[in-house]
């Protein structure tokens, strides 16, 4: 039986693909669980419309991300923090702190999980921090940590 996958199924295929499977597998597992529908002409047309809408949505998201990347690559954030004699901070600058500062600077919320910090910043200095907006788009911002007077 040919089915159109609604959701991705391990070892079978991704959403939107048409697959030929055993009748029992389709009737007793895929269709009742809402993972697939029989591959009729109407279902195939609807899947094509969904795929086109998803492509348009993805293109719009990529354009917005590229615009944000241009803005972010020009940003330099300066943090003032208390530090000891050997330039060690009494606290640390985390990706959440950077996300809050970026939101104040740009007016757009940036998810703290997209800020790539191996570990929190614990020393004074200048750091280059990548922000992973898309898998192949990661602009660098400059973070400067200065001693608080």
One-character DSSP codes across 53-118: HHHHHHHHHHHHHHHHHHHHTT-EEEEEE-B-TTSEEEEEE-HHHHHHHHHHHHSS---GGGB--S
Rounded Cα distance between 111 and 47, Å, is 31
pLDDT of residue 97: 95
Domains of the chain with CATH codes = 2-59 (3.40.5.10), 68-147 (3.10.430.100)
Q: What is the mean pLDDT of residues 100-127?
A: 93
pTM: 0.70
Residue-wise pLDDT for 43-88, tens only, equals: 889 888 988 998 999 999 999 999 999 999 999 999 999 999 899 9
Q: Confidence class of residue 148 from pLDDT cuts 50, 70 and 90?
A: confident
For residue 125, pLDDT beyond 90: yes
pLDDT of residue 50: 85
């Amino acid at each position: 039986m040919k089915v159109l996958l609604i959701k991705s199924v391990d070892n079978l295929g991704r959403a939107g693909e048409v697959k030929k499977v055993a009748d029992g597998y389709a009737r007793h597992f895929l269709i009742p669980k809402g993972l697939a529908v029989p591959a009729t002409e109407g279902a195939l047309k609807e899947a094509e419309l969904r795929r086109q809408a998803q492509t348009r949505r993805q293109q719009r998201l990529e354009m917005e991300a590229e615009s944000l990347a241009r803005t972010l690559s020009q940003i330099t954030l300066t943090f003032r923090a208390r530090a000891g004699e050997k330039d060690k901070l009494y606290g640390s600058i985390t990706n959440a702190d950077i996300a809050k500062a970026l939101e104040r600077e740009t007016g757009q919320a940036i998810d703290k999980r997209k800020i790539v910090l191996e570990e929190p910043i614990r020393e004074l200095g200048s750091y280059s921090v990548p922000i992973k907006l898309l898998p192949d788009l990661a602009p660098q911002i400059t973070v400067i940590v200065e001693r608080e007077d």
